[in-house]
Amino acid sequence: MRRLGLWVAGLVLAGGILAEAGLVRVLVADLPYARVWAAAVRAVEGYPLERARDGLILTRRVERPPRADEAGFERIAERITLRVEAFGVRSTRVTVEVEAEGRRHDAWVPISETGGTAREIVARLRAAEG
């Protein structure tokens, strides 16, 4: 059976666009908005949601232990934003943005490299679509 959706990973500028709040990943799905929206909601299952309507999914701030690539931090706090936008009958764009801070020496400091979490959300999106 032919797969209905074709995910085109447009990881812009070889891995993302650097934004003020963190790394942004942009995906374009050759699928209708409703199907991509459902996949986006499933991609953030397990994160407490602050908002999920009108094309915007915003999680609450979540603290977790650091991963191996986040050495030097005692804790990591992150918040995920997904924007889902239709731009055609069967084309939908998803933007993934991660805002993160790391706790070091009793202070929270911004983390600009949030690629691990962004890649995880992108992988979840692809899995939820399939």
Going from the N-terminus, what domains does the chain have, and what CATH number goes with each?
7-129 (3.30.530.50)
pLDDT of residue 28: 85
Per-residue confidence band for 13, with pLDDT thresholds at 50, 70 and 90: very low
pLDDT in tens, 61-76: 999 999 988 889 999 9
pLDDT of residue 87: 84
Contact 26, 7 (CB under 8 A): no
Listing DSSP states for 22-70 in one string gives: EEEEEEEESS-HHHHHHHHHHHTTTSPEEEEETTEEEEPPEEEPPPGGG
Per-residue confidence band for 103, with pLDDT thresholds at 50, 70 and 90: very high
pLDDT in tens, 109-129: 999 877 888 889 989 988 887
pLDDT of residue 19: 38
